[in-house]
Chains A and B, each alone.
Chain A
Amino acid sequence: MLGGRVLDVDLLLEEREVHEVHDILLREAVRLARELEGEDFDVGKFEAQVDNSREYYPNPKFCKLPPTFCSANCPIEECVRIKMLSEIEILRQIISDYRRRIFQKVTSAPEGPPHPQRKIKKLELEDLVRKEGVIALTVKYPDGWRDMGKVKLSTVSSELTALLDEHLKNVGIGEFRAALLHLSVGTYIICKGKFLLGVLAAPFVREGLLFLWAKEAAS
């Protein structure tokens, strides 16, 4: 049993909502598994694994109805609601684990001598803007901002960093270092290092990787 947590709100879910939550989580788990293990990932085997991991005994936490029989007089072993809620728990745990593994894969530095494929090279700005998926970038130089790529980002970057520089510290959150925004066209990151740099990339570029590219290029 992979374990997991039953949220209080789960107990309030209506039948239709239980199925919706289950479907969303299953789709997300499969998407992450494909990202982690490649397109050869076996969806059928994965679904069977989730199915087998299910703890299938009466658990009053799952159901507010009488512990043995529900209002439809179904035996609890056949209750679809319990089955779905058990799987929701498992899927949450799996998603959390996949996300952690993906993030570690992208960011972890290897022990010992650096592996050429895993070492992130120092990126020049021209290299960065030519990377697959990078749409545009903007850099702040002493004499002003310079835009590169297909979209002008300098105005918003300048206004946003000014706003964050001024207010984050005042509220006691700390000194502004980076911002990541999700847009429908992709992900936009502003990173403050030696330079102040904004990068807009397509949605398929993983945000952890984009953050590392931006950090490296801004340093």
Chain B
Amino acid sequence: MVFKRTLDKLTEEKGILGCLLVDCEGLVVSESLGSGRKDPEEVAALAGMLTNFLEHWFGEMDGSPFDQCVLSTDSSSMAIRKVGCLYLVVFLKGSGLSGYMANIVTISEAVATIAMMLQRTCG
């Protein structure tokens, strides 16, 4: 419920279509995708698969942990940010980087909020 409020607030932002929080195994922790949009389970599974791949590659490439990525499609874009042991997946309007750049501060604020909540919950 604590995460849900932050996700709902992020989804209310102009240019953001929805978001969800997933764990490293691709399971939904909390979501705010709106009704009739994407299937949270499918999105979480994709995010889990992708982040596993990227974590592995980042480790091999320069030893650094995966932090964030932005994916662009022909119709929209999707940002994935690591928050503690979880991943925040945000769907944005417009392809390319413009949607992400326009909302980078808002997304970073949400990441900071979730990180703080995680710290308080998990210690």
Please tell me which one of the listed residues B38, B57, B67 contacts residue A156 in the complex, with CB atoms under 8 A apart.
B57
Please tell me if B43 contacts chain A, counting CB pairs below 8 Å. yes
**CB-nearest residue of chain A to B42:** A171
Please report the C-alpha to C-alpha distance between residue A136 and residue B116 in the assembled complex, in whole angstroms.
37
**Are the CB atoms of A107 and B109 closer together than 8 Å?**
no
The answer to whether the Cβ of B101 comes within 8 Å of any Cβ in the partner chain is yes
Q: How large is the interface on B (under 10, 10 to 19, 20 to 34, 35 or more residues)?
A: 35 or more
- Answer whether residue A174 sits at the interface, using C-beta atoms and an 8 A cutoff: yes
**How far, in whole Å, are A181 and B48 apart by their CA atoms in the complex?**
16
Partner of A173, one of B5, B78, B101, B112: B78
Q: Which residues of A contact B63 (CB under 8 A)?
A: 184
A173 to B37, CA, bound (A): 10
Q: What are 5 A-to-B residue pairs whose CB atoms are below 8 Å?
A: A7-B9, A95-B105, A164-B71, A171-B38, A181-B68
Q: Which residues of A contact B (CB under 8 A)?
A: 7-9, 17, 21, 92, 95-96, 99-100, 103, 107, 156, 159-160, 163-164, 167-168, 170-185, 207-208, 211
List 10 additional A-B contacts (Cβ < 8 Å) besides A92-B109, A207-B97: A7-B109, A9-B6, A95-B105, A159-B53, A167-B49, A173-B38, A175-B73, A177-B95, A181-B58, A185-B62
